[in-house]
């Protein structure tokens, strides 16, 4: 387990929770990234705050990169798997009404049975697919 990074994981996770909490306390909304992005694109209702949220999401790594000199991360090679995975993530979070942030952080915190179920299911299929393929 030499790839285990507990401190950055805990601090980063805390910041994810804090960002989501700010949206709840000030605006009363769920910080579900898939729902916000999908509605920003396909619904004219409440588009401006959703686009502002997405601008923040895109700016985040640029800010981290300007503060931490050796910040870098890998990205997937272009392949047909990338297309299939993108379609599955899009259709799946659309039908399932949420992803890791909306169900996994906000929904579980609210003890929502739908979000607890969704998180268990996407964790399960994620582990099965990743473990079988690698």
Partner 1 sequence: MPIIIAFIAGLLMSVGIAYSQMIDPEKVLGFLTLNANWDPSLMLVMAAGLAVYSSGYWLFAKKDKPLFAPHFSMPGKKDLDKPLVIGSLLFGAGWGLIGYCPGPALAAISSGSSGTLVFIAAMVAGWFISRKLAI
Q: State which of positions 64-123 bind partner 1 (CB under 8 A).
A: 64-65, 71, 73-79, 81-97, 99-101, 103-110, 112-114, 117-119, 121-123
| Min dist. Cβ of residue 11 to partner 1 (A) | 6
| Min dist. Cβ of residue 69 to partner 1 (A) | 14
| Min dist. Cβ of residue 47 to partner 1 (A) | 11
Q: Per rule CB under 8 A, is residue 47 in the interface with partner 1?
A: no
- Asked if 127 contacts 121 with a C-beta cutoff of 8 angstroms, the reply is no
> Residue 114: CB partners within 8 Å, gap ≥ 6?
97, 103, 107
Q: Per rule CB under 8 A, is residue 128 in the interface with partner 1?
A: yes
Q: At what angle do helices 33-42 and 47-67 cross, to 10 degrees?
A: 130
Distance CA(87)–CA(81), nearest Å, equals 10
């Amino acid at each position: 387990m030499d790839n285990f990074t507990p401190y950055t994981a805990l601090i980063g996770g805390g910041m994810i929770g804090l960002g989501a909490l700010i949206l709840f306390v000030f605006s009363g909304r769920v910080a579900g990234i898939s729902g916000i992005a999908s509605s920003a694109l396909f619904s004219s209702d409440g588009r401006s705050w959703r686009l502002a949220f997405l601008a923040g999401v895109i700016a985040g790594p640029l800010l981290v990169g300007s503060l931490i000199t050796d910040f870098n991360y890998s990205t997937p090679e272009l392949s047909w798997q990338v297309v299939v995975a993108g379609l599955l993530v899009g259709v799946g979070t659309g039908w399932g009404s949420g992803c890791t942030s909306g169900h996994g952080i906000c929904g579980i915190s609210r003890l929502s049975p739908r979000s607890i179920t969704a998180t268990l299911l996407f964790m399960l299929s994620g582990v099965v697919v990743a473990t079988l393929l690698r």
